[in-house]
Homo-oligomer: A and B are copies of this chain.
Amino acid sequence: MILARVEGSVVATKKTGKMTGSKLLFVRPMVVDSPDATSLRPGSNTLVAVDQLGAGEGELVLVVQGSSARLGTDNKDLPVDAVVIGIVDTVDLKKKKIYQAA
């Protein structure tokens, strides 16, 4: 799974039938990519994830991708490849708390 920050939302009226009612979030991956870094920084490939947990803008979430994403919704036949499965409270890195939800 990846850590991602909710940055906005996407609306698509015309979509495949199964997708009706799915809330679509625009999220940005958050990574620690320098060897010594101890804080998260925005990653580069933004994506769109289905959310059924009610995540709000600015929150850090856990996003599952690929076929497993379908198991993160209440409908295994949704044609989706990215779903929010958790709203993050804390991230600890090298014994330091680097993220704490507001």
Contact = CB atoms under 8 A, between A and B. Distances in A.
Query: Looking at chain A, what size class is its interface with the partner chain?
Result: 35 or more
A85 B16 contact: yes
A71 B93 CA distance: 27
Given A68-B79, A93-B26, A14 B46 contact: no
A63 to B, nearest CB: 9
B45 A33 contact: yes
A33 to B, nearest CB: 4
Contact of A65 (B33, B81, B93): B81
Interface of A: 1-3, 7-16, 18-19, 24, 26, 28-29, 31-33, 35, 41-49, 52-53, 57, 62, 64-72, 77-83, 85-95, 98
